[in-house]
Chain A
């Protein structure tokens, strides 16, 4: 055994800003992902409040014309999807996955840094559209041609081109990130960490990465073709010259439906980490959950055309049936979560109440989604506010509540300090009240036929009160973020010291210090189940080798 001490020529870390700008440490990169994504959440929220302020009353009050409104809802959705939810979850995964599998870092640390730095660049490109002549992209986040290509309604000028380049750049970042996650998960697991001992968060990141890897290049191809049509004289989507506008929708949704699962599966992973810890029980049906996750991922590639029922160019029975089928693995997960809490010893800390918020809101989003899977119902509700309600219950009620559950849960690990519980609960109450006040009325507006993506509506259509309620709710959501920001601000200075394992967690990130050292682990506990830290804390409960018939999957 070597006993001499090597004196390093330079210290391991350079100080301050330089270290952060040049780091390849997955933890620092993960934190930068989270901060960057949160800033874009605020920017996207600003655009959302602009939209809700305009819609509070009939008539145009805020914006000088409808075009500015179009820019606002287009950039709102683009920022929230591509620059907030997807990178926020990727960032949490970046921080947590290597820790949870007992690895010292991601497989390709420098590519990891590259993936991160593409995101702010993509965001700047996107927002630079507001400086371009003709303004930013205004054809919706879907940018369907002909709206995005030709004619009097063409999303004008270079703003749309900047949008295309920005999404291609962010997509490339996602693809590189997914390769990194897959190689890390397959090749860097600690001894004993078999696939069926991996934490659920790691499993969901694995399936998410497969979706990103297989789907994101396809939207890149759609955007490339759109770019060629707009700038190089191409005619892919131009029906007047032998092209086909619906072709874009097919290629676009081949990515963008799996992207829905990219946005929700890691949030499901976070919730599946939080619920067992705060119920003092193992996750109910660990393997069933994994197979359900894989099932959602696989089915996710066969349902894209349910966004296109009304085009009349897709085979309705197939896509309707496949869409209903997705409810099955999702339902399995609801049972996993409910029975994890059933007869558990619940502690209603902030991460837990956000996780429960996820369950309830996502349930509503799942149910109203199943309605829309029925073809006749979809024909009636397509492009109404019903769809806006549905997607926000899934992506806000689901993903965003999951993200905040994760932030409250892992903040002590990232910083060494606990967030304030009272402010956290205030955040939750304001957010869930504001959220439901905003989006529940949209169901009714949709059933009454109010179309989405309009800046104005008739004052005698009977939509005034519900729109006002939704706008008030929107601003309550905006206010709910303030206690969170204040909470982070004061907790970093005066928060209670967390210690290594403030929640009595199950997974390996709680076996190292808070925050972890650059190399993550001095020692790893023995890994004999999917809850190695629980086993280490309760050695008398640990199975001896060979004692369990099914070593691979203790439930």
Chain B
């Protein structure tokens, strides 16, 4: 070995007899790559929803100045004490069950994980069904994407949130399937941690949406 090259680990003979330096410094510390990746992805999602929310507030302020928010025709449509409250409770509950699932697998309790993640999965689907039903009620009352800025912003914001819930349900389905196949353990479950972060993010977006659309 020449003096200007320092070996960073022990050598092994790898494929085709090439020397491979096992770089011990690469042993990962701190946050794992998939979880960091998911956090960064969520950051980008936050910015996406920020763009939509900015459009919403700008549109609402402009129309409220003209006395048109909410428009007379749809004043009664966004009643918080209705089906949508049930959907909200369902989604918040699912965040809790999702976290119980994470804590289960951290303890190595696979049965608890599968039970909790199944409940989360079902609650996610229930939310989507309720949202679809709610849309059908609104359509029945004549509120659509084309009903001026009120309808446009409502369906864009809730629609994109719903699409994200749908994506989250797919992810939950994948980790449920992988969990039932026995692919996770107390040590190896980055996918679960990442999906749970995403699911909590979707939940937080809904809480903000519910507050802004129905309460404020």
Residues of A bordering B, CB below 8 Å: 1-6, 8, 12, 107-108, 175, 178-180, 182-183, 186-188, 190-192, 213-222, 224-225, 228-229, 232-236, 241-244, 247, 250-251, 254, 517, 519, 521-526, 535-537, 539
Interface residue B216 (Cβ < 8 Å from any Cβ of A): no
| Measured CA separation A199–B17 after assembly (Å) | 32
Q: Are B20's CB and A519's CB within 8 A?
A: yes
Cβ-defined partner of B146 (8 Å) among A3, A234, A519, A521: A234
| Measured CA separation A283–B156 after assembly (Å) | 50
| Measured CA separation A243–B146 after assembly (Å) | 12
Rank and list the top 3 A-B pairs by shortest CB-CB distance, nearest first. Answer: A221-B51, A191-B25, A233-B146
What A residues does B152 contact at CB under 8 A? 228-229, 233-236, 243
Rounded to whole Å, the gap between the CB of A159 and the closest CB of chain B is: 23
Q: A213-B43, A536-B4, A539-B3 are in contact. List 14 more A-B contacts (CB 8 A).
A: A6-B15, A175-B41, A178-B40, A179-B37, A179-B40, A213-B44, A236-B55, A236-B156, A244-B62, A517-B18, A522-B21, A523-B21, A524-B21, A535-B4
Rounded to whole Å, the gap between the CB of A542 and the closest CB of chain B is: 9
Cβ-defined partner of B41 (8 Å) among A179, A215, A536: A179
Cβ-defined partner of B13 (8 Å) among A3, A213, A218, A243: A3
Chain B residue at minimum C-beta to C-beta distance from A535: B4
Rounded to whole Å, the gap between the CB of A284 and the closest CB of chain B is: 26
Chain A residue at minimum C-beta to C-beta distance from B40: A179
Q: Are A8's CB and B40's CB within 8 A?
A: no
What A residues does B11 contact at CB under 8 A? 1
| Measured CA separation A217–B8 after assembly (Å) | 40
Residues of B bordering A, CB below 8 Å: 3-8, 10-21, 23-26, 28, 31, 33, 36-37, 40-41, 43-45, 47-52, 54-55, 58-59, 62-63, 66, 68, 144-146, 148-150, 152-153, 156, 160
Listed by A's residue number, 5 A-B pairs whose Cβ atoms lie within 8 Å are A178-B40, A179-B40, A191-B8, A214-B47, A228-B152
Q: Are B156's CB and A183's CB within 8 A?
A: no
Q: Are A242's CB and B52's CB within 8 A?
A: no
Q: Given the known A-B contacts A214-B43, A251-B54, are A243 and B10 also in contact in the complex, defined by CB atoms under 8 Å?
A: no
Q: Given the known A-B contacts A232-B145, A234-B156, A539-B4, are A217 and B37 also in contact in the complex, defined by CB atoms under 8 Å?
A: no
Cβ-defined partner of A247 (8 Å) among B6, B26, B59, B144: B59
What B residues does A1 contact at CB under 8 A? 10-12
Rounded to whole Å, the gap between the CB of A311 and the closest CB of chain B is: 14
Q: Given the known A-B contacts A3-B13, A242-B62, A523-B5, are A191 and B23 also in contact in the complex, defined by CB atoms under 8 Å?
A: yes
Q: Given the known A-B contacts A107-B33, A234-B152, A254-B51, are A242 and B63 also in contact in the complex, defined by CB atoms under 8 Å?
A: yes
Q: Are A526's CB and B6's CB within 8 A?
A: yes
What A residues does B148 contact at CB under 8 A? 235, 241-242
Cβ-defined partner of B144 (8 Å) among A6, A233, A242, A244: A233
| Measured CA separation A188–B36 after assembly (Å) | 12
Q: Given the known A-B contacts A6-B15, A12-B15, are A175 and B63 also in contact in the complex, defined by CB atoms under 8 Å?
A: no
Q: Are A6's CB and B40's CB within 8 A?
A: no
| Measured CA separation A525–B16 after assembly (Å) | 23
Q: Are A183's CB and B59's CB within 8 A?
A: no
Rounded to whole Å, the gap between the CB of B179 and the closest CB of chain A is: 22
Q: Are B47's CB and A5's CB within 8 A?
A: no
Q: Are A525's CB and B43's CB within 8 A?
A: no
What B residues does A241 contact at CB under 8 A? 148-149
What B residues does A522 contact at CB under 8 A? 18-21
Q: Given the known A-B contacts A236-B152, A243-B59, are A215 and B33 also in contact in the complex, defined by CB atoms under 8 Å?
A: no
